[in-house]
Amino acid sequence: MNLHIYERLVRLPFSRVSSEFLRSETANVHKYITLPATCSRLGAMVNAQALEPSQRALFDAGDLLPDLAFYWMNLAAAIVADCTARDDIAALVVPFERLVVPLSVGDLCAQMASNPWKSAAQVFVIWGADGAIFKRTSFPVRCAGAAFPIVDGVGIGYGADARDVRRLNLFVDR
């Protein structure tokens, strides 16, 4: 188990998912996004056994944990800031809705309450995309990396290279 502290404001107990489980959760990713060959797929899920009692009650009721929502909002803000500084493109991709829009925390929050959020790899926060991505009407879209919910929305999957993992402070075993 790895306690990942994000911005020193969120403390979530994560457990890394096995590569076999991650492979099954992300089997259809290639239909929606194309990642460079240098990307690795990583995944983690909230360890329900290690949650505080109040968080565990929310988890057991199937509610989105506030700390997990806050984690995603901070991750989106970090990706937007990083892409802005590097003159790069960040986007929110929701294939079920045929939605490809510039990444914003507000749009991400709206997706957290949606059915696709609870489906494995159906909502993508991507970076390093081509500017023409917003004019596309078909999938897959090409990008340098992506983060997406897995495990009924209580897990996080990544397709990222080692540089992005470090730069964006993505979950990794330490």
Q: What is the DSSP string of 2-68?
A: EEEEETTTEEEEEEEPPHHHHHHHTTTHHHHEE--TT-EEEEEEE-GGGS-HHHHHHHHTTPPPHHH
Q: What is the pLDDT of residue 53?
A: 92
pLDDT greater than 50 at residue 5: no
For residues 93 and 29, give the distance between their C-alpha atoms in angstroms, rounded to a whole number. Answer: 12
What three-state secondary structure class fits 152? coil
Q: What is the pLDDT of residue 173?
A: 43
Per-residue pLDDT reduced to its tens digit, 18-57: 989 988 988 889 999 999 999 988 888 999 999 999 999 9
Residue 8's pLDDT band (boundaries 50, 70, 90)? very low
Q: What is the pLDDT of residue 146?
A: 95
Q: What is the pLDDT of residue 88?
A: 92
Per-residue pLDDT reduced to its tens digit, 117-152: 888 889 999 999 988 888 877 899 999 999 999 988
Per-residue pLDDT reduced to its tens digit, 37-48: 999 888 889 999
